[in-house]
Amino acid sequence: MSQSYDRGLIEDFGRWQEFSAGMWAWVLHKFTGWVLIGYLFTHIAVLSTAIPAATGDPAAYTGTLQSLEELTIVRILEVGLLSVAVFHILNGIRLLFVDLGVGLGSQDRSFYASLVLTGAIVVASVPTFISGAF
């Protein structure tokens, strides 16, 4: 038999100071999910320049992507996107294990590990993402 407890309304963000690790994991997974689906729509819109490129205007695609990559703000946003994607992936793996009943006793620690690993991967990736931007 499983136990349950009343965590209160997580949707009430005014209570953020009372949030436990599990609630932060939930909030961050939702937030990063919203960012990623928003980005997917933007990504396909930008890559749609491949359509005129296929009919004899390759600069429509190559020029658009390379012009975007020349903007420092785009490089910084890409680092933000990487952070969001890496956290969503690592926390998602953690959630799949939880769904399988694995590691239930160490969910707090695995969440903190997701955060630390995300930070480490992002910091290590910054030189690659900003090379040539400044």
Partner 1 sequence: MAERYSSFEPKGARWFLQRLTAGFLVVVLAFHFMLLHFVHHAYEITFMGTQARMTQVGYFATMVLFLGTATFHGVNGVYNALVNQGLSGTRKTAVKYALVGAGLLLTIQGIRVALAMTGMNVTL
CA distance 80 to 64: 21
Does 51 sit near partner 1 (CB under 8 A)? yes
- How many C-beta atoms surround the C-beta of residue 87 within 10 A? 22
Three-state secondary structure of the chain? CCCCCCCCCCCCHHHHHHCCHHHHHHHHHHHHHHHHHHHHHHHHHHHCCHHHHCCCCCHHHHHHHHHHHCCHHHHHHHHHHHHHHHHHHHHHHHHHHHHCCCCHHHHHHHHHHHHHHHHHHHHHHHHHHHCCCC
Smallest gap, in angstroms, from Cβ of residue 119 to partner 1?
16
Does 50 sit near partner 1 (CB under 8 A)? yes
Does 108 sit near partner 1 (CB under 8 A)? no
In the bound state with partner 1, the residue whose beta carbon lies nearer, of 17 and 41, is 41
Does 126 sit near partner 1 (CB under 8 A)? no
- The binder of partner 1 chosen from 21, 22, 33, 77 (CB under 8 A): 33
- Tell me the window of 15-23, 65-73, 108-116 that interacts with partner 1 (CB under 8 A): 65-73
Smallest gap, in angstroms, from Cβ of residue 90 to partner 1?
9
Does 42 sit near partner 1 (CB under 8 A)? no
Calculated CA dihedral for residues 64, 35, 73, 53, nearest 10 degrees: 0
Residues that bind partner 1 (CB under 8 A): 1-3, 11, 30, 33-34, 36-37, 40-41, 44, 47-48, 50-55, 58, 61-62, 65-66, 69-70, 78, 82, 85, 89, 92-93, 95-96, 98-101, 104, 125, 128-129, 131-132
